[in-house]
Amino acid sequence: MTTFAAVIVLTIAIAATTVLRMVRNGTTPILFWLILVPAVVSPMVSGWMALFPGEPAAEAPLEPPNGRSTLSIPKGHDLIVSATIAEIGLADVDDPGIQLTDYVIKLSGTSWEQTLMGKIKRGAGSVRVSDGRDGKASLSTEPSTMTMLWGEDRQDRFRARGIGLSQVWIGNWSGGAASAVTVQAVPGTPSRRVLLGLMGVLVRLAILSDARLGTDRLAADFGVLTCASILIAEQVTPDGGIRAILFTLAFAVIGGGIVGKSLGALGEFFIGKSVDAESA
């Protein structure tokens, strides 16, 4: 719930800067508020569905190096790859291979195939060696402050390309961060097509508002919010933590802002030419 609270706080913070700027400039037309509501709600909806997908409809446990299983994927479900972090001993502490696992998982259905590729990363500072009272070294794998802040990359999200019963197997496996993985079919986040459509509609309305109603940089602001909803739906996993949300919103600010600002500039140019033509 803390991670979802971060989604709400950061989304409202981004929207608040837009509202304050509009109020300060004295430009708050009805269209602005009509665009603002879905732009603010969409990241929250994506966040809730990504972080709290509910019970998996099916799951397929796989053990390296050649694990194989079956998975029944219902319509409208995403795939979550969840790793079991491997236990280690004192002899393994200096082995760099314990920090990372690269995997390739293949799925094959009736008329479709899909390849899942990702990395599993042990949390920063989660493995520490200390001297005990008896003078012997002891190994600790309890989370440190750094681990709790940065977490462990032990889950990945993928859009399922097909539905129905599929064969699932490990195609490639290297590294010692994980000892096994489970592929789960969980209720999906809003579809990419729906979110891209929403982004297109809101950014177009924002461009119109900037050009005709005198608002300022709405296309860039709403581009950030709608881009955030897309990235959260595509990337965030139930165990992703605040770190995943911060990185996702940072990319949304950069990517969505650039796209929205560029489209806004083009829109204002062409709408401006249209207005000039009408005036003539």
Which pTM does this prediction carry?
Answer: 0.80
Q: Is the pLDDT of residue 34 over 50?
A: yes
Which segments within 193-277 are labelled E, that is strand? none
SS3 217: coil
Q: Residue 221's CB: how many other CB atoms inside 10 A?
A: 28
* pLDDT band at 146; cut points 50, 70, 90: very low
Residue spans of the domains in the chain: they are 2-51+190-279, 58-187
63: left (phi over 0), alpha (psi -120 to 50) or beta: beta
Which CATH fold topology does 58-187 show? Jelly Rolls (2.60.120)
H helix intervals, 138-191: 145-150
pLDDT tens per residue across span 193-248: 999 999 889 888 888 887 777 777 788 888 888 889 999 999 999 987 787 888 88
Q: How far is CA 253 from the centre of its chain?
A: 14
Q: Regarding predicted confidence, which is higher, 154 or 28?
A: 154
Cα–Cα distance measured from residue 254 to residue 231, given in angstroms and rounded to the nearest whole number: 12
